Chain A
């Protein structure tokens, strides 16, 4: 598609997608070799959504993310070293080892948190949007969610509320076709999630979520609308998750052929082709970018591995902000 993105903006999109891919590919390896505890949900194949949307956001804009949030958080500017350390459960992680993969937040770059509850980010996004309005700023909020979340109750409360108050929110559906193991074609009453926007008097757009330039264009429109006080937009990006719902998922709900077909629509390969055609990406440059990213990710892993685990007693810290001593009087520990 025709894009208004400048050459350097296109290159930035490419880098962002490659960083997300490299980070998650490394996480996949580390998880398989038992270096990372817990559950890990990867977004490999879906990189264009986070990269495209974040490319039109400012550092002071907010996002709420999902349990599949590594890409959203990285694209918004989080540090891969602290992310990796968190995945390892180390003290230097974003949450000092209390959150893990599903709960990464970086308030310094507007990441209000990934969320372990499907659709948990919606009401929080409404609150952040309300706060922007009350404080009189022109910040916007992106509420990332998946197709599965769109069937939960808080989604509908949130879209209604954002609409009546004209809040600066982009409800960004990263539609990867599956809610955990359940296909969207079975679980959802509409063929397109964006159709739900009609019920809440907001624009609903569906774009090819593997075309990062298309995502960026649509997001730019939605962000402009939000920033100028016209209210929320529901933006649906159609994409596909290459990996299972979680690492180790036997994936009995889909065929290998279906996954293979989806891989042919790789958003990174696709943008690389555009860049080559525009003579922005030579084989040499491509190699250099990949090498830089690889080094950055290796450094993140090194940082995570070399970082200490928290002391057991640290499990009792960070529960309350104020008057912790007073709370402790009540037998907090």
Chain B
């Protein structure tokens, strides 16, 4: 297998290009995607290569989302760009009431093959309307699948799978990882939804995480390794369906767990994962599970304030030490 280093943005554009070449029903729709190539340059080159299949819209989030849905119901495979994950809230009816429920509500008569792509996350002093991590809302909504990878290999493989999936997939990508590089094979590959990946083997503590928090966990692991503590880092990659078997395997190996994400701790995905571990794997635990997440305030603008609110490598390091004592 020949590997190259690609950024997440390049990996994403490559995935889209391959899928658009493979399947003429795939198209991209959203704001600022033709002239600008997407707000993060993630569609660069595609508007020229696929004329008429990369479609600029007015600023009309409800209708952009709903248009994707209507197209999915009538034979197309839309890739909907939501600009910023925060704006999903302005299209909440279309996501939560319509796209998520249509197949079920109509007794399985129809498939809803659409990808809703949304850049999320904080750390850019973008303040409260451009910084949120909303994945828990959507994991909570039956009918949706939710993906949130971090590394270019995972981004490419999961975008391709999400496009081919027959159900609505919410695809989150943290804004601070767009330029992150990583090895990506030249050859085609797919990553199934619902499969986690052990990004670092370790014996002492399992850190269950995803998205940018994976990078924080890797940093914490390096530091702790110097003290003789080996973190095992499990990257969920897909948040729903969730890879429970991978979680159970790792918890049964280390017996100590930290669940870490950037979204607000309260009502976050970490709470769900911790609850399920204590329900099903209580006997495997040598210490109470510790959760890491943002403090429960809207995202502040000023850098020191934002830094205080969201977790970083130190948060995971401290959490790991806590489960070890």
Q: Measuring CB to CB, which residues of chain A are less than 8 angstroms from any residue of chain B?
A: 62, 64, 93-99, 103, 105-107, 112-113, 115-117, 120, 122-132, 134-135, 153-154, 157-158, 160-161, 164, 317-323, 326-332
> Contacts A95-B106, A123-B62 known; A330 to B240 CB distance under 8 Å?
yes
Asked if residues B72 and A127 are in contact (CB atoms below 8 Å), the reply is: yes
Interface residues of B in 85-139 (CB under 8 A from A): 93-94, 97-98, 102-113
CB of A309, distance to nearest CB on chain B (Å): 14
Residues of B within 8 A of A120 (CB): 93, 97-98
**Does B265 belong to the interface (CB within 8 Å)?**
no
**Does B191 belong to the interface (CB within 8 Å)?**
no
Bound Cα distance from A94 to B78, whole angstroms: 26
Further 8 A-B residue pairs, CB within 8 A, beyond A98-B106, A123-B94, A330-B244: A113-B106, A117-B93, A122-B63, A124-B66, A127-B72, A318-B104, A320-B103, A322-B167
Partner of B243 from the list A125, A323, A330 (CB cut-off 8 Å) is: A330
Q: Which of B27, B66, B68, B243 has the most A CB atoms < 10 Å from its CB? A: B66
Q: Measuring CB to CB, which residues of chain B are less than 8 angstroms from any residue of chain A?
A: 27, 29, 52-53, 55, 57-58, 60, 62-76, 78, 93-94, 97-98, 102-113, 142-143, 145, 165-167, 192-194, 240-245, 276
Residues of A within 8 A of B242 (CB): 330-331
Bound Cα distance from A93 to B109, whole angstroms: 11
Bound Cα distance from A117 to B165, whole angstroms: 26
CB of A103, distance to nearest CB on chain B (Å): 5
Bound Cα distance from A322 to B167, whole angstroms: 7
Residue of B nearest to A310 (CB): B107
Residue of A nearest to B94 (CB): A123
Partner of A96 from the list B52, B97, B108, B142 (CB cut-off 8 Å) is: B108
CB of B26, distance to nearest CB on chain A (Å): 10
Residue of A nearest to B100 (CB): A319
CB of B162, distance to nearest CB on chain A (Å): 11
Asked if residues A321 and B103 are in contact (CB atoms below 8 Å), the reply is: yes
Bound Cα distance from A126 to B94, whole angstroms: 12
Residue of A nearest to B97 (CB): A117
Bound Cα distance from A62 to B55, whole angstroms: 22
> Contacts A134-B27, A322-B166, A330-B194 known; A105 to B58 CB distance under 8 Å?
no
Bound Cα distance from A318 to B194, whole angstroms: 18
Bound Cα distance from A329 to B57, whole angstroms: 38
Bound Cα distance from A134 to B111, whole angstroms: 19
Asked if residues B63 and A161 are in contact (CB atoms below 8 Å), the reply is: yes
Partner of B62 from the list A98, A134, A157, A323 (CB cut-off 8 Å) is: A157
Bound Cα distance from A161 to B62, whole angstroms: 11
Asked if residues B66 and A329 are in contact (CB atoms below 8 Å), the reply is: no
Asked if residues B106 and A117 are in contact (CB atoms below 8 Å), the reply is: no
Asked if residues B75 and A131 are in contact (CB atoms below 8 Å), the reply is: yes
Can you list 21 residue pairs at the A/B interface with Cβ under 8 Å?
A64-B70, A95-B105, A95-B109, A105-B110, A113-B102, A120-B97, A122-B66, A125-B70, A127-B69, A130-B67, A131-B74, A135-B74, A157-B63, A318-B107, A321-B167, A326-B193, A327-B145, A327-B240, A329-B243, A330-B242, A330-B244
Residues of B within 8 A of A327 (CB): 145, 194, 240-241
CB of A226, distance to nearest CB on chain B (Å): 15
Residues of B within 8 A of A154 (CB): 62-63, 66, 93-94
> Contacts A123-B69, A160-B58, A330-B242 known; A323 to B193 CB distance under 8 Å?
yes
Asked if residues A128 and B74 are in contact (CB atoms below 8 Å), the reply is: yes
Residues of A within 8 A of B63 (CB): 122-123, 126, 154, 157-158, 160-161
Asked if residues B107 and A319 are in contact (CB atoms below 8 Å), the reply is: no
Asked if residues A130 and B70 are in contact (CB atoms below 8 Å), the reply is: yes
Partner of B74 from the list A93, A105, A116, A127 (CB cut-off 8 Å) is: A127
Residues of B within 8 A of A158 (CB): 60, 63, 66
Asked if residues A94 and B67 are in contact (CB atoms below 8 Å), the reply is: no
Q: Which 10 A-B pairs have the closest CB atoms?
A: A123-B66, A127-B70, A330-B241, A318-B108, A157-B60, A95-B107, A321-B166, A157-B63, A96-B107, A127-B67
